[in-house]
Amino acid sequence: MEPTDKGRGGELDVLLHTEQTFPPPKGFAERAIANDPSIYERANADPEAWWSSWAEKLEWAEPFSQVLDWSDPPRAKWFVGGKLNASVNCLDRHVAAGAGDRVAFHWEAENADDLGAEGRRGVTYAELLDMTQRFANVLRSVGVGKGDVVGIYLPMLPEAVAAMLGCARIGAIHNVVFGGFSAESVRERMEFSDAKLLVTADATLRRGEPIPMKPAVDGILTALPKVEHCVVVDRCGTKPAMTEGRDLFWHEALAEAEPVCEPEQMDSEDPLYILYTSGSTGKPKGILHTTGGYLTGVTATHRLVFDLKDDDVYWCGADIGWVTGHSYIVYGPLANGATSVIYEGAPNYPAEDRWWEIIERYGVSIFYTAPTAIRACMKWGDEHPEKHDLSSLRLLGSVGEPINPRAWLWYREVIGGGRCPIVDTWWQTETGAIMISPLPGLTTTKPGSATIPFPGIEAKILDSEGEEIEEGAGILVLTRPWPSMARDLYKESDRFIETYWDRYGRDTYLVGDAARRDEDGYFWIVGRIDDVINVSGHRLSTMEVESTLVSNPKVAEAAVIGIPDEMTGQAIVAFCIPQGSGEGLEGELREYVAEKIGKLARPKRIVICDDLPKTRSGKIMRRLLRDIAAGEHLGDVTTLRDPDVVQDVVRRFADQGD
């Protein structure tokens, strides 16, 4: 299905075929924070001085004595000897500077119109600090302290931000799980990380309906003896069952808590958080970020990539449960003292113009979202944004997956009115902060390219031997340490080295993406080189979905691949050999995966087959399955254990697609 860009299609097609480039608009460039091109030379000539200049903008309880210790790569130490607290940097210092009444977040409930004043809350820096300190005291009162892990499984609420910062205040390590993941995924992540406490909500509102969270969590808490307490935010008033002594309501506990909480002064290299993301195996990886370097990286990138000024109203539409939410809803914007929007619900609820209504209401000037969402809006039609005054917008951002030029151009024309630069930002959970992106006042953009590395970052494309490819396609690597780099995989240090630092040496970070570099040195991300599928900007491992499928007694074997999809970038197709009759199994298995992992992992198609193409040694040939799904010529299949299987799978794929 082609997304329609009603009304503007002809215009966009012309642009597409001219391969037009877009220099920064003159007025924008003149006023931009980064408007001197020598910033790149200066940063790259002395990256340590560059990063140090950003670190110095933070408030340190004890200054650092060394910018970088890279004597034992890939074990980086940034801002050695420095001590600081992330919540102090995000809150206290702004309040102390007189910005207590400044709005940190305009929170918009999904059912804002039904809730009256409560449905649209302006949470000031002083209020967020109060909530954070009280929650931090609640944590301390139940015995959570420095180095303990706290799980957070919440909808998009200001409480989610306060929960994260409350952990940071006392040196507890937060482990946020996206609210759309299943309880089973929460259980796995809490167990891997030995979490001591879990914060959740009674329910989350989705398209007007409360979807229970606490009741689902109850089912896993019994299997998690190390989780001693569960704090419950009462979002929907659904009166969940509360276990005496274990469960506390957020509002009751905070009301009773002391309002002041002394911050724990953390070493620059003390952990700030872990965030699980999918890797090539079935087991999610716990990416570990530390305090000083991470805060420095997100502060610098958020300020310069988004050209953030005092009067901006910034809105990142991601969920707090992903790294984009951590870096560009919570830590970057708050460290920079920004005023942001947090919207709780679906973009098309109650109607397809909800996002544009929000932009108009709050006068949003910087808007950051994912290509999959842009494509959905494009499909819904221009009439929705056209109903609203979007003239407050001055900058647009994209993240999470390659943006196709057609969506890029639509975003620019229809949402940005042709006047807003677009920053296509490439980065990862592991990089912590944006690595490749335009600087909007300096970089000429090309639709579909994330352009060039951020000042101080060095990216290269290598061939399989490790030789650099100056122009052409290959494997993307980062060849210099940067402050917000992941320090480890939680409790899996060997896996950290094997996954990222073995292929080309201990000082070359293997990103896991293939990319192309063009004649101007611009980077174009091609896709993953591992068994990771990117569905709507969310990373999922094929192995994770496969092992879930085979955990169903009706499935004997499963092979999962990603196929291109107009709307979601990639979509999941699972080929399954049933245990017994496969009759009517497709729908059941799709729901099974959605329930076990979360809706985002629900396969688009399940293809039931008698057998799968395998090598003589019994390895499933996923490449062949991808060719079958793409309708490609299959080439020589005689090396397979049973070449006849291929035709059967081709036929099943075609038949079951109807």
DSSP string computed for 164-199: HHHHHHHTPEEEE--TTB-HHHHHHHHHHHT-SEEE
Of 132, 133, 268, 277, the residue at the interface with ligand PRX (CB under 6 A) is 277
Which residues have a Cβ under 8 Å from the Cβ of 145 and sit 6 or more positions away?
139, 170, 171, 172
| Eight-class DSSP state of 316 | E
**Helix/strand/coil (H/E/C) assignment for every residue in 554-578:** CEEEEEEEEEEECCCEEEEEEEEEE
> At 452, is the secondary structure helix, strand, or coil?
coil
Contact between 288 and ligand PRX per CB under 6 A: no
Of 534, 536, 548, 570, the residue at the interface with ligand PRX (CB under 6 A) is 534
Contact between 512 and ligand PRX per CB under 6 A: yes
**Neighbouring C-beta atoms of residue 319, cutoff 10 Å:** 18
Runs of H (alpha helix) within 90-237: 93-94, 112-115, 125-141, 158-170, 183-193, 214-221
Instruction: Using the minimum distance from each CB to ligand PRX, give the nearer residue, 402 or 598.
Output: 402
Contact between 24 and ligand PRX per CB under 6 A: no
Stretch that binds ligand PRX, among 240-248, 380-388, 425-433, 638-646 (CB under 6 A): 425-433
Instruction: Give me the least distance between CB of 194 and ligand PRX, in Å please.
Output: 23
Contact between 250 and ligand PRX per CB under 6 A: no
> Token pair 């081709």 is at which residue?
650
Asked whether the beta carbons of 621 and 646 are under 8 A apart, the reply is: no
Contact between 325 and ligand PRX per CB under 6 A: no
Distance CA 467, CA 473 (A): 12
Contact between 323 and ligand PRX per CB under 6 A: yes
Of 539, 590, 596, 622, the residue at the interface with ligand PRX (CB under 6 A) is 539
Instruction: Give me the least distance between CB of 316 and ligand PRX, in Å please.
Output: 11
Stretch that binds ligand PRX, among 209-217, 292-300, 427-435, 558-566 (CB under 6 A): 427-435
Instruction: Using the minimum distance from each CB to ligand PRX, give the nearer residue, 400 or 562.
Output: 400
Contact between 601 and ligand PRX per CB under 6 A: no
Contact between 477 and ligand PRX per CB under 6 A: no
Asked whether the beta carbons of 298 and 484 are under 8 A apart, the reply is: yes
Instruction: Give me the least distance between CB of 345 and ligand PRX, in Å please.
Output: 21
Pairing state between β 555-565 and 569-578: antiparallel
> At 383, is the secondary structure helix, strand, or coil?
helix
Buried-exposed string 432-442: b where 16+ CB fall within 10 A, e elsewhere: bbbbbbbbbbb
Integer angstrom CA distances of residue 458 from 312, 398, 509: 30, 21, 11
Which residues have a Cβ under 8 Å from the Cβ of 443 and sit 6 or more positions away?
24, 451, 452
Contact between 552 and ligand PRX per CB under 6 A: no
Stretch that binds ligand PRX, among 32-40, 128-136, 302-310, 398-406 (CB under 6 A): 398-406
Contact between 137 and ligand PRX per CB under 6 A: no
Residues contacting ligand PRX: total by CB under 6 A: 20
Instruction: Using the minimum distance from each CB to ligand PRX, give the nearer residue, 271 or 400.
Output: 400
Instruction: Give me the least distance between CB of 445 and ligand PRX, in Å please.
Output: 12
Contact between 189 and ligand PRX per CB under 6 A: no
Instruction: Give me the least distance between CB of 400 and ligand PRX, in Å please.
Output: 5
Contact between 525 and ligand PRX per CB under 6 A: yes
Instruction: Give me the least distance between CB of 524 and ligand PRX, in Å please.
Output: 9
Contact between 424 and ligand PRX per CB under 6 A: yes
For residue 615, the cross-strand partners are 640
Instruction: Give me the least distance between CB of 181 and ligand PRX, in Å please.
Output: 13
Asked whether the beta carbons of 157 and 200 are under 8 A apart, the reply is: no
Contact between 399 and ligand PRX per CB under 6 A: yes
Contact between 324 and ligand PRX per CB under 6 A: yes
Closest C-alpha among 344, 397, 391, 335 to residue 366: 397
Instruction: Using the minimum distance from each CB to ligand PRX, give the nearer residue, 175 or 429.
Output: 429
Stretch that binds ligand PRX, among 171-179, 426-434, 570-578, 644-652 (CB under 6 A): 426-434
Distance CA 186, CA 199 (A): 11
Distance CA 629, CA 532 (A): 17
Instruction: Using the minimum distance from each CB to ligand PRX, give the nearer residue, 450 or 609.
Output: 450
Contact between 544 and ligand PRX per CB under 6 A: no
Instruction: Using the minimum distance from each CB to ligand PRX, give the nearer residue, 193 or 277.
Output: 277
Structure tokens at 84: 């600081």
Stretch that binds ligand PRX, among 108-116, 394-402, 553-561, 584-592 (CB under 6 A): 394-402
Backbone angles phi, psi at 640, to 5 degrees: -75, 155
Binding site for ligand PRX (CB under 6 A): 277, 323-324, 399-402, 424-429, 450, 512-513, 525, 528, 534, 539
